[in-house]
């Protein structure tokens, strides 16, 4: 089954684009077949429960969402990328 990932930031314009570029590279590396959508944070309700993973620029309250959320900022700034990659891997491979 294809995994569905939504990458979201405030505008769904700049930071999510930068995060998305790195996510695409990483899931390719993982060899997991994914469809990746870009959105604005306040549109996430629409994908909640449907998507397998949300990757956001801002920390969100996980208790408000069914879909697991990770913060994608490490992909923006290049720090702690390994931790983030491990989290994504765990979620997608489970």
Task: Match 């930031």 to its residue by tokens.
Answer: 9
9 is catalytic: yes
How many C-beta neighbours within 10 Å does residue 39 have?
18
Beta strands 53-56 and 34-40, pairing class? unpaired
Least separation in angstroms between residue 73's CB and another protein is 4
User: Is 18 among the residues that bind another protein (CB under 8 A)?
Assistant: yes
Stretch that binds another protein, among 26-34, 45-53, 54-62, 85-93 (CB under 8 A): 54-62
Alpha-carbon distance 36 to 50, whole Å?
13
- The residues of the shown chain that bind another protein, judged by CB under 8 A, are 9-11, 13-15, 17-18, 21-22, 41, 57-59, 71, 73, 76-79
């Amino acid at each position: 089954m294809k995994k569905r990932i939504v990458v979201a930031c405030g505008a769904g314009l700049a930071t999510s684009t930068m995060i998305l570029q790195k996510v695409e590279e990483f899931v390719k590396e993982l060899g997991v077949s994914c469809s990746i959508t870009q959105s604005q944070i306040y549109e996430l309700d629409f994908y909640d429960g449907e998507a397998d993973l949300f990757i956001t620029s801002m920390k969100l309250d996980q208790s408000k969402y069914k879909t697991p959320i990770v913060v994608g900022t490490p992909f923006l700034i290049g720090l702690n990328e390994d931790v983030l990659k491990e989290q994504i891997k765990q979620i997608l491979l489970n």
